Amino acid sequence: MNYVQIYIYFQFITSIRTLLYPCQYIDSTEYILKCDLCRCLSFPLIYSTSNFCSLTPSLNCMKNSNEELVLRLKINEITDGFISTDKQIEFYNFNNDILNHEQLCLIKNYSQITFFNLLYHFSLNQIPKCLITINSLRLVNSFIQNNYFLSNKLIFYNTTFNITHFNLTLTKILILHSTKFLIQPFEFNSLFSLTHLTITYTENYYLIGSFPHLLYLNLCYTKLNDKQLNQIFTQINIPDLTTIILSNNQLTILTNKFPSTIRYLDLSNNHIKSLDYYSFKSLYSLNILNLSYNSPLEIQQDTFTRIPYLEILDLSYSLPTLPFDELFLPLQKLRHLNISSNYLDTLPQLPVPYDAHTIESYDHHLPVLYVDLSNNNFEKIDLEIFSTPSTQDKYILSLNMNNNRLKTFKFSSILLNDTKRRGPFIELDINNNQFECDCSLYETISNVLKHDTFHQKQTAFDCM
């Protein structure tokens, strides 16, 4: 494919994208924002972040989250009046004209520049120096034939590359979303300055070499399989990596090659079928683990003994093939457990927060364990398991049991006796359940409301 063919192809694809999705782009938090054509043309003056429209004339847009203004310009709208601005700036259909607009380099103090539909094929000595060194540069629906950038932050969205690799010496944040590589596989080789790398909705890439400062790696929606992931861990050096996002891929097993530095691991929406004692062998310091939407998932009872510092665990929609039983007891650092939407009907044994053992008196700083049990099949709650005489610990157990089949709940009287009370304070969220409001349940509710043992939430009792 020669240059003329590539150019025609790019212009054709860009026209289709602009017609179908005139307002589609990705913001600084990596969320895709869209608005439809009718909305674009109906509100031509002031827009929220969800209404950026590339077909409208220049305008000022108010960013709702932090009141940051975005200045949107076309090529003939650059004047001396824009020499100093702290706004984001967006340009449309700049292409070859960029070489003739040196006033672009006069603009100072902007937070980010975005180019839409840019054909970036110039040689290094042709490009205005300020374009190469822009602190934050975003290219949308563009065609890239130059691999040299000096920007601190680079974002490419719906972009086609006709290069083999990047030459980045100063870039710390690199984000590619829905990109296409004409030369495959595209090579990310030893990017020494990177601290953040996101590659999403993209295929045919290759990671190799040293990434000595990389802290965050996001490879979701890249059709990554077990072999490819093992190859990545074998071929790259990432000594400081703490966060890795691998959701929505084709992984089936957990590899022991995960870097031991990982603190946050997201494996949601894969095809993992089983976990055991060896699954997290290399992840002793893991703090956050997301395994949701891997179903059915078989979890052996000793699975989590090797990650005692886990604080957040998401097993929602995992549909376990074995009962949880004592699965969570080793996790005394746990603060948030999500086991919603798993067809559970029995409350699993829950860990006691490690710092609950040291609480000698009631105060306002009790440790809290939040457990999301919503959208399961519970018909009753038996809180007596938390009131055994040996349970001296003081902490708050917050249970979300919304959208179950609850008809009643019961607890031991020892929970209501301040002189003998044992176990945690209980916080219940039990909305959207069809309770059978008989005399026994009314008496239970009345007793609970008379004591401070339960931290109450607004709850509507719907009786059958």
Residues 166/194, Cβ–Cβ less than 8 Å: no
**Which pLDDT score is estimated for 21?**
42
Higher pLDDT pick, 139 / 38: 139
- Which has more pLDDT, 35 or 141? 141
- 362, with CB counted inside 10 A (0-12, 13-18, 19+), is exposed
Contact yes or no for 404/381 (Cβ under 8 A): no
Q: Give the count of domains, the chain.
A: 3
Decide which of 135, 167, 199 is a domain's last residue: 167
pLDDT at 53: 36
pLDDT > 70 in the chain, percent: 63
Beta-strand relationship, 264-266 and 243-245: parallel
Name the residue with higher pLDDT: 204 or 48. Answer: 204
pLDDT of residue 62: 36
Which of 3-17, 19-33, 270-284 is predicted least confidently?
19-33
Task: Check whether 396 has a pLDDT greater than 60.
Answer: yes
pLDDT of residue 286: 97
Domain that holds residue 61: 1-167
175 in a structural domain:
no
Using 50, 70 and 90 to split pLDDT, how confident is the model at 122? low
CA-CA-CA-CA dihedral for 338, 340, 342, 348, to nearest 10: 60
pLDDT given at position 48: 34
Question: What is the pLDDT at residue 115?
Answer: 77
The verdict on 188 and 328 lying in the same domain is yes
Query: Where do we find the tokens 């957040």?
Result: 312
Label residue 228 by pLDDT band (50, 70, 90): very high
Mean pLDDT of 415-443: 74
Lowest mean per-residue pLDDT among 127-131, 153-157, 326-330: 127-131
Torsions phi, psi for 115 (to 5 deg):
-115, 130
Sorting pLDDT into bands at 50, 70 and 90, what band is 456?
A: very low
Evaluate whether residue 346 is within a structural domain. Answer: no
- Report the distance separating Cα 134 and Cα 368, nearest Å: 46
Domain annotation covers residue 283: yes
Output the domain CATH number for residue 291.
3.80.10.10
Angle made by CA atoms 271, 276, 281, in degrees to the nearest 5? 100
Residues 371 and 226 in one domain: no
Q: Are residues 19 and 162 in the same domain?
A: yes
Q: How far apart are CA 180 and CA 176, in angstroms?
A: 10
pLDDT at 119: 77
Residue 413 lies in a domain: yes
Q: What was the pLDDT predicted at 79?
A: 52
DSSP-derived secondary structure letter, 310:
-
Whole-angstrom distance, CA of residue 250 vs CA of residue 248: 7
Residue 38 inside a domain? The answer is yes
* Per-residue CA distances from 377 to 298, 329, 343 (Å): 19, 22, 5
Burial class (CB in 10 A: 0-12, 13-18, 19+), 379: middle
Q: Is residue 156 part of a domain?
A: yes
Cβ-based neighbours of 14, under 8 Å, separated by 6 or more: 117, 141, 143
How far the first Cα of the chain sits from its last, in Å, is: 70
Distance CA 266, CA 264 (A): 7
Of the pLDDT bands very low, low, confident and very high (cuts 50, 70, 90), residue 162 is very high
308 pLDDT above the threshold of 50: yes
One domain, residues 372 and 247: no
The per-residue pLDDT for range 165-206, each reduced to its tens digit, is 999 999 999 999 999 999 999 999 999 999 999 999 999 999
Cα separation, 391 vs 401, in Å, equals: 23
Is 103 in the same domain as 189? Answer: no
Query: Alpha-carbon distance 437 to 406, whole Å?
Result: 11
Q: For residue 139, is pLDDT > 90? A: no
Tell me whether residue 177 is in a domain: no
Q: Is residue 37, in this structure, part of any structural domain at all?
A: yes
37 and 69 housed in the same domain: yes
Q: What pLDDT, in 10s, does the model give residues 329-371?
A: 999 999 999 999 999 999 999 999 987 766 554 555 889 999 9
